[in-house]
A and B are shown apart, each in its own frame.
Chain A
């Protein structure tokens, strides 16, 4: 349970970090280390060089620019619960955060690390989809913004090319007509979810849904939106009949893999239950 030996460099700029990574044959970035350090200890990963992003200034801080909240990649999970700008403009992250791991892990783990890793059972990556966030990525050609819908590609596969750095997350700020909700089903507190989901929608004054985004996690190789459900909800007011109708669409949307601990039929059942709860929650203003 000890990592193989590696070299270590702490970079202070994106360019330095990118260059150090490129120069080494076999490098890994480290942010909070809460996924990487166990992977090193188990020797699931054994890079020759670790490039520590912890001192990169552009990756720190939370700022509001117009109606976009820019959350630096190094913002720790625990800050989702304490940062006033996040509570005000990206409340779904604050709602999801208590479900991510345990308090001490949240003191180290970073939003950028979580979204870069893109574990299909992770809360924050799915919330990027629900919030329609953009990923700020630094690479050979400078910085680009990738929408969440194009970012998650396959199991642990994202739009990040080898050596590219997830610098920050850009989240559209919620207004008075937005409603949102998060929940997950776990066996024990702090465990990865059996099924989880978050949603965020824009509602008319009369309670009709203008549009809504609903993202599930722990049901597929990536976090996934349930687009037929979103479409069926648009223009409608939530009531018991509508909830029952869209719960019926889940089976055609999701196709969970075989799992000896949780058969697909069970996961689909849990997804329907969760969807019902979340829609109930946002049927009155948040």
Chain B
């Protein structure tokens, strides 16, 4: 009963093989087994968005995925995005615009912002708010977060326009 199940997946570019109890969520697996604590857990029921990670190229709530369901998946956490420089401008803009205070929501917000900006172009503020509709931030009032994401989108669009 409830014996550990073998699990093989790729996390931040590294192939990982472990045995996990079926009830372990992907969030707990990342945080407790792999010690990747950048992924935060708040509500553990899909409401707050602190636990977002990229799974096979799209953002998902890691508290709503069982680790065993991620068999064969390619996962990227905020650590992975940060280390390969994928969110460097976003991080810079968040810093400059004061888009975080306690930082609890920030990993999830960055993952969603990264996914949104991967579509290219400059999203409207409405688009940005829509993308972040599942992210709770109890500190900033969101305005600065939307500013930082918009600034980054403009920066990237401008940079692409350069010869």
Chain A residues close to B by CB (< 8 Å): 1-8, 10, 30, 33-34, 37-38, 40-42, 48, 50, 52, 54, 78, 101-105, 107-108, 188-190
Contacts and interface: CB of A to CB of B under 8 A. Distances in A.
B131 interface: yes
28 contacts: A1-B43, A1-B45, A5-B21, A5-B22, A6-B2, A7-B3, A8-B5, A8-B22, A37-B64, A38-B45, A38-B46, A38-B64, A41-B45, A42-B45, A48-B1, A50-B66, A52-B68, A103-B133, A103-B134, A104-B58, A104-B59, A105-B46, A105-B61, A105-B64, A108-B60, A188-B133, A189-B133, A190-B134
A33 B66 contact: yes
Q: Is the interface of A mostly helix, strand, loop or mixed?
A: loop
A38 B43 CA distance: 10
A33 B69 contact: yes
B45 A7 contact: no
Nearest to B5: A8
Interface string B35-51: 00000000111100100
B18 interface: no
Contacts of B43: 1
Contacts of A38: 44-46, 64
A3 B46 CA distance: 14
A8 B68 contact: yes
B63 A105 contact: no
Q: Is the interface of B mostly helix, strand, loop or mixed?
A: mixed
A177 to B, nearest CB: 33
Given A2-B23, A54-B69, A103 B59 contact: yes
B44 A1 contact: yes
Given A34-B46, A105-B134, A189-B130, A5 B60 contact: no
Contacts of B134: 101-105, 190
Contacts of A5: 1-2, 21-23
B6 to A, nearest CB: 11
A178 B117 CA distance: 36
Contacts of B60: 104, 107-108
B23 A107 contact: no
B48 to A, nearest CB: 11
B75 to A, nearest CB: 13
Contacts of A101: 134
Interface string B1-29: 11101000000000000000111010010
Nearest to B67: A8
Contact of A3 (B23, B65, B112): B23
Contacts of B65: 33, 37, 108
B14 to A, nearest CB: 23
A41 B48 CA distance: 15
A241 to B, nearest CB: 36
B52 interface: yes
B31 interface: no
Contact of A7 (B2, B28, B64, B115): B2
Given A38-B64, A78-B58, A107-B58, A102 B133 contact: yes
Contact of B63 (A37, A50, A52): A37
Contacts of A78: 58
